């Protein structure tokens, strides 16, 4: 596996190249681990930290606190008013440490999102690592920088600002 510019090239037995992109964010917040975990592990709060422009609507699966095996379905309207259905599964949960969501059906060929939480002096460090692959082969690769990557950057920048608005700016 070769890493360059936030991307991974995975060589398959037939040596075809598959681009798996990576988004990595770290945010520190001046709250207790329990307070941040309670917020982030409630699926209803995904709508709170998603930009209105994404047209995010949960259809099912947010009636209980997060657990491994939980299926959450929703729609998003990320580009040009096109509504997309997305089904994710919470595959792993270790309370107050991490959880993982994976797309089962949706706009990506592959989506694997890890959320890590670590208590630090003065608050909590939250880390997001997303690995994703786009459909449509070369077309997906061509539109990635200006459609997909920019939309993901905007979404995670919004989350960063919204969480700072809700919990305060980290001063440490």
Q: Give pLDDT, residue 13.
A: 43
Q: Give pLDDT, residue 48.
A: 97
Q: Give pLDDT, residue 164.
A: 98
Q: Give pLDDT, residue 17.
A: 57
Q: Give pLDDT, residue 16.
A: 47
Condensed to tens digits (0 to 9), the pLDDT of residues 59-100 reads 999 999 999 999 999 999 988 889 999 999 999 999 999 999
| Cα-based angle 21, 25, 31 (whole degrees, multiple of 5) | 155
3-state helix, strand, coil in the chain (%, to 5): 25, 45, 30
Weakly modelled stretches of the chain, pLDDT under 50? 1-16
3-state secondary structure of 134: coil
Dist. CA 33–CA 37, nearest whole Å: 6
Residue among 76, 96, 95, 97 nearest 85 (CA):
76
* DSSP code at position 89: E
Dist. CA 77–CA 83, nearest whole Å: 4
CA distances from 154 to 9, 31, 51, 67 (A): 25, 24, 9, 28
CB 112 within 8 A of CB 132: yes
Residue among 76, 92, 94, 74 nearest 84 (CA):
76
Dist. CA 37–CA 41, nearest whole Å: 6
| Dihedral (CA of 150, 151, 152, 155) sign | positive
pTM listed for this prediction: 0.87
């Amino acid at each position: 596996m070769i890493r360059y510019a936030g991307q991974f090239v995975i060589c398959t037995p037939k040596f075809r190249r598959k681009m798996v992109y990576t988004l990595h964010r770290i945010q520190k917040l001046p709250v207790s681990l329990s307070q941040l975990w309670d917020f982030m592990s409630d699926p209803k709060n995904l709508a709170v930290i998603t930009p209105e422009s994404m047209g995010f609507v949960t259809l099912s699966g947010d009636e209980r606190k997060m657990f491994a095996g939980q299926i959450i379905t929703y729609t998003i309207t990320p580009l040009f008013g096109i509504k997309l259905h997305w089904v994710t599964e919470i595959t792993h949960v270790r309370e107050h440490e991490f959880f993982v969501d994976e797309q089962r059906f949706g706009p990506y060929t592959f989506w694997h999102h890890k959320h890590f939480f670590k208590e630090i002096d003065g608050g909590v460090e939250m880390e997001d690592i997303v690995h994703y692959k786009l459909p449509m082969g070369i077309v997906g690769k061509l539109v990635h920088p200006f459609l997909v990557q920019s939309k993901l950057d905007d979404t995670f920048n919004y989350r960063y600002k919204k969480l700072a608005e809700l919990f305060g700016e980290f001063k440490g």
